[in-house]
């Protein structure tokens, strides 16, 4: 069967070569051009059947025209699924990102952010997208994206600092060295900002 298909292709190729060699008039060349156009259309149709075009939007959303794009096999998410950890796949969206945070206080603060802030935070933290890329996705300026992200981070930092202070005073088991370091850094930055404002 394969040999027969190859033979047909060889015959068509030889016929086209003879047609090109025999062309003398403008009409003959138009006939050759028409044949080449026909072959190109067939080739492009076959290529379209075997490949799916992906733009930035479909990469972000993960689907297009009803086709689902699986995560690449080399992606860490596949290893997590193979090991039985399905949570990152289930909660892989901006509205559910708080479900992936271990600390309950921080998770609650992320859940309390506005929808726009959650989307920007999700794309930055989970998708590693730059403000310029997020601006393209959402048809905004990268400046407005940076402002949204800064407002989200500032909201989380300002609200989590009193919680950590209370945990230090009550000596709760949730207290970690990372939280202590964060609070030290936060208070130093706050002092610098307050001094700058008073000047």
pLDDT (tens digit per residue) in 14-48: 888 888 888 888 888 888 898 888 888 887 777 66
Report, as an integer, the average pLDDT of 141-147.
Answer: 89
Stretch among 75-84, 126-135, 190-199 having the lowest mean pLDDT = 75-84
Rounded to the nearest 10 degrees, how much is the dihedral formed by the CA atoms of 152, 154, 159, 160? 100
Share of the chain above pLDDT 70, in %: 82
Which residue has better confidence, 33 or 93? 33
Report, as an integer, the average pLDDT of 81-92.
Answer: 74
Segment 151-169, tens digit of pLDDT: 999 999 999 888 888 888 8
Position 101 confidence tier, pLDDT thresholds 50, 70, 90: confident
* Average predicted confidence (pLDDT) for the chain: 79
pLDDT at 65: 47
pLDDT at 20: 86
Containing 149, the helix (H) or strand (E) segment is: helix 142-170
pLDDT at 102: 82
pLDDT at 151: 93
The b-or-e profile of 151-187 (16+ CB within 10 A means b, else e) is ebeebbeeebbebbeebeeeeeeeeeeebeeebeebe
**pLDDT over 80 at 149, yes or no:** yes
**Rounded Cα gap, residues 62 and 55, in angstroms:** 10
């Amino acid at each position: 069967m394969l040999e027969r298909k190859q033979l047909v292709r060889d015959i068509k190729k030889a016929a086209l070569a003879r047609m090109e060699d025999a062309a003398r008039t403008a009409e003959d060349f138009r006939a050759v051009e028409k044949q080449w156009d026909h072959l190109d259309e067939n080739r492009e149709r076959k290529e379209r059947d075997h490949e799916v075009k992906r733009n930035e939007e479909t990469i972000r959303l993960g689907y297009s025209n009803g086709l689902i794009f699986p995560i690449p096999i080399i992606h860490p998410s596949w290893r997590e699924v193979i090991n039985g950890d399905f949570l990152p796949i289930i909660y892989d969206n901006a509205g559910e990102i708080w479900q992936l945070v271990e600390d309950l206080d921080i998770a609650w603060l992320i859940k309390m952010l506005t929808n726009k802030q959650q989307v920007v935070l999700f794309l930055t933290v989970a998708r590693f997208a730059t403000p310029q890329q997020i601006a393209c996705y959402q048809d905004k300026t990268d400046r407005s994206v940076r402002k949204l992200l800064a407002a989200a981070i500032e909201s989380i930092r300002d609200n989590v600092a009193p919680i950590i202070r209370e945990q230090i005073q009550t000596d709760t088991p949730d207290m970690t060295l990372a939280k202590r370091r964060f609070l030290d850094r936060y208070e130093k930055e706050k002092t610098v900002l307050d001094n700058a404002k008073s000047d």
